[in-house]
């Protein structure tokens, strides 16, 4: 039997929809969101993940179901999934460090750089630390087939204080599109179009989370370095989800790599028609987050690109 988060079982039995009641910023109430996080199993950290780096700065929590990552003067830290996956749904509930944290980066992402170093794929959530009286910034990015020369960053403010409680950061990745979601509300969709085909993540990836010192670039281009008098900086993770097609380097193909991505024979957990495009409700959520909270998109930066990347063209 799949092991779901404790709260998820109750929520699923009541309804598939919910509106957050947690404190919000800016006087705005987020729209109702389909709770995709309730559709997939939660995995105990100590069974599905392992330490990536950081030694003692990686600490188990909640009897092994969760974990905390710390950054101090000696090291950052991180963990990674024991499996590599093709398409699927990947999520973590994260609570961020609460004190002054300029220069600190907390990331939840997928990558295969260790296996495909010259042609790696990546799907990134990066949370960039805050200054006094300022807010954490959410940055998303996508690389495919080693296309790191084109950063596809988009940046958002959040409609809540991410240091007060755990909030869910989720990635839906299939043949049709990549969807970034925060508390189940879409904030970005990257469609698998002809223009994007060469840079669309297409190889199996591991799931990672890290906390590290991004002083060189993270806050105002590096103008606000990490101040270690506020260390250790600790991020807490729980409700970890990774439901995709497992891949082994000893296998030549995956059930997700078949030509018919919506086939009932595929083991892709997000391969069905309901995951091929956003619902009307999800489209409304996407419009809400992007119109009210997005403040940077690489597709609207002519100073950076004299010729816009092909996927930016209408």
CB atoms within 10 A of CB 230: 15
The number of domains in the chain is 1
Instruction: Flag whether 191 is in a domain.
Output: yes
Nearest of 126, 206, 175 to residue 276 by alpha carbon: 175
pLDDT, position 221: 73
Q: Does the residue 253 lie in any domain?
A: no
Assess contact for 129 and 104: CB atoms under 8 A.
yes
pLDDT at 252: 59
Q: How far is CA 123 from CA 67, 108, 143, 224, in A?
A: 21, 9, 7, 26
Q: Is the residue at 18 inside a domain? A: no
In the 8-state DSSP scheme, what is residue 232?
A: P
| Residue 164 token pair | 């007060």
Residues with catalytic roles: 122, 126
Q: How far apart are CA 74 and CA 48, in angstroms?
A: 27
DSSP label at residue 164: T
Let me know if residue 255 belongs to a domain.
no
Could you list the residue range(s) of the whole structural domain that residue 82 is in?
24-247+261-307
Residue at 6 is within a domain: no
Are the C-beta atoms of 67 and 45 separated by less than 8 Å?
yes
* Residue 84 counted as domain residue: yes
Residue 187, domain member (yes or no): yes
Exposed/middle/buried for 23, CB within 10 Å: 0-12, 13-18, 19+?
exposed
| 225 occurs within a structural domain | yes
Instruction: Spell out the per-residue pLDDT of the chain, length 314, in tens.
Output: 344 565 444 443 333 344 444 457 777 899 999 999 999 999 999 999 999 999 999 999 988 899 999 999 999 999 999 999 999 999 999 999 998 899 999 999 999 999 999 999 999 999 999 887 788 999 999 999 999 989 999 999 999 999 999 999 999 999 999 999 999 999 999 999 999 999 999 999 999 999 999 988 767 777 788 899 999 999 999 999 999 988 876 665 566 654 444 444 467 899 889 999 999 999 999 999 999 999 999 999 999 999 999 999 87
What is the C-alpha separation between 24 and 6, in angstroms, rounded?
24
Flag whether the pTM goes above 0.95.
no
Separation CA 267–CA 115 (nearest Å): 23
Closest CA to 270 of 207, 278, 283: 278
Per-residue confidence (pLDDT) for residue 11, from 0 to 100: 41
CATH assignment at residue 110 = 2.60.120.200
């Amino acid at each position: 039997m799949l092991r779901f988060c404790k709260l998820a079982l109750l929520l699923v039995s009541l309804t598939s929809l919910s509106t957050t009641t947690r404190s919000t910023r800016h006087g705005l109430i987020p729209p109702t969101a389909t709770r995709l996080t309730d559709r997939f199993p939660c995995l105990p950290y100590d069974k599905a993940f392992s330490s990536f780096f950081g030694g003692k700065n990686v600490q188990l929590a909640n009897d092994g179901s969760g974990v905390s990552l710390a950054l101090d003067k000696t090291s950052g830290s991180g963990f990674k999934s024991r499996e590599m996956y093709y398409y699927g749904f990947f999520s973590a509930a994260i609570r961020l460090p609460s004190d002054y944290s300029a220069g600190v980066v907390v990331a939840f992402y997928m990558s295969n750089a260790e296996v495909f170093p010259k042609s790696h794929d990546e799907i990134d959530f990066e949370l960039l630390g805050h200054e006094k009286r300022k807010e954490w910034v959410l940055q998303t990015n996508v690389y495919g087939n080693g296309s790191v020369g084109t950063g596809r960053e988009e940046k958002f403010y959040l409609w809540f204080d991410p240091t007060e409680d755990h909030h869910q950061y989720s990635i839906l990745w299939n043949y049709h599109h990549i969807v970034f979601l925060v508390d189940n509300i879409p904030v970005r969709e990257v469609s698998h179009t002809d223009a994007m085909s060469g840079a669309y993540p297409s190889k199996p990836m591991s799931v990672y989370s890290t906390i590290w010192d991004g002083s060189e670039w993270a806050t105002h281009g590096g103008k606000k370095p990490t101040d270690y008098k506020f260390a250790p900086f600790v991020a807490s993770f729980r409700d970890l989800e990774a439901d995709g097609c497992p891949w082994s380097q000893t296998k030549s193909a995956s059930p997700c790599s078949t030509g018919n991505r919506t086939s009932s024979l595929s083991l892709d957990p997000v391969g069905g028609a309901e995951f091929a495009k956003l619902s009307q409700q999800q489209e409304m959520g996407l419009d809400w987050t992007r119109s009210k909270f997005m403040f940077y998109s690489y597709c609207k930066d002519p100073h950076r690109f004299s010729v816009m990347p092909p996927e930016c063209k209408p």
